[in-house]
Chain A
């Protein structure tokens, strides 16, 4: 309950400060169906797909703009970042990046997004007003997942083939630190306070917990086989276990294991909604989106989507 109240307060203050939409429950999930070159729009109350559009280039990573009016989607096959207008459900602009775009994150404060380049070991800085590359930052090898602190000041990249996480100062576009984590970190998530980051380490079957201001590892949580990404809700961490077909749940403060929820084959993208009332999981192996209640730890809904849903990033609005 504490989280929910805090989220509401935060919502009200945000609304007062910058006139943006307050934190509200998610009502829609935008799912990148990589195998079938499409995006599914899912009504998350009814747990039913409401629309599907074609997006060429094997869409994988996703981030939503501050106002949640547009989605930015990486297309690794066509090496592009694709901007989608979510109201009209149509492709607005495409930016050819080259290399291997994977993870993408949108800054909650600045008109900027960041795209990890799997092959060139750097992160592109994209001006989201002009949809042009505004700069780049050297990171470790094969950056994959990206996440920002809530103040938009620090960017974290999971550098998969360096077994490390880079912390980047967004203002100066400098890498401040590289922190060794488990083997092959892929997804990375930052908590609401901007205090801790959690990486899912594909090859060591665990999650590394980083203290961001201290720049050090504060714990490791064992997971199921091939953890992919992490979501946080109601004081718990939720990890998709790609090969294990489960979601590993752990306690966010003690880091002790809570439960392993049987979910689906190739559970991949995972995100908690703004009020932390639900956690959504895309199942690449079964072409569905699942809804999990973070209180009861039960699967409460299932929506069929397109072939090969990845939803790597933030996909709820």
Chain B
């Protein structure tokens, strides 16, 4: 309900009133982003840093992670960003054995992160002293109707997610490789 109210407020503010009745509709097509990075460290060492759903401290834009449910399915976390933005997320699938977890955003203001119906997966694979971390996402753009404003169109959402993932993975590499 809260999510709908937040998005509703945004859409009413951006769209002519005649469109308000068509709110809650998706953008026309779902977007997909996949970014990977090679890290000079064993899988277990990388997983130790990224594998805790309750700790997003490896992502530079995050100031604070608060949540409950640990790494169990349906666990939740609230990320407070350094710019003050807040993102609420839920864990959908977790496998320590396969070094992967999937989660979704349950609440975000498109002004903070211009996406809707966003789900994501992070996976660590590798052999010996080399790992590859892949961060994947599926989502709709920030504006749910036809003819979006430029800051909430497909390109804007792709740019925001790709940028976050590239910066995040680069920071993760630095943290793991530099951290001894």
Contact = CB atoms under 8 A, between A and B. Distances in A.
B47 interface: no
A141 B30 CA distance: 20
Interface of A is mostly: loop
A118 B26 contact: yes
B92 to A, nearest CB: 5
A76 B138 contact: no
B145 interface: yes
B29 A285 contact: no
A191 interface: no
Contacts of A284: 30, 32, 138
Nearest to A76: B28
B136 A119 contact: no
A243 B24 contact: no
B121 A265 contact: yes
Contact of A77 (B28, B32, B92, B102): B28
Interface in A273-317: 284-285, 307-308
B93 interface: yes
- B: interface residue count bin: 10 to 19
A220 interface: no
Contact of A34 (B29, B104, B136): B29
Interface in A56-87: 58, 60, 76-77
A237 interface: no
A248 to B, nearest CB: 14
A119 B92 contact: no
Contacts of A285: 121, 136, 138
B13 interface: no
Contacts of B17: none
Given A100-B25, A243-B119, 4 more contacts: A100-B28, A118-B26, A142-B24, A265-B93
Q: Return the 8 tightest CB-CB contacts between A and B, nearest first.
A: A76-B28, A58-B29, A243-B92, A161-B24, A35-B32, A245-B93, A225-B92, A142-B25
18 contacts: A34-B29, A35-B29, A35-B30, A60-B29, A76-B29, A100-B146, A118-B25, A119-B25, A119-B146, A225-B92, A243-B102, A243-B104, A265-B102, A265-B136, A285-B121, A307-B32, A308-B30, A308-B32
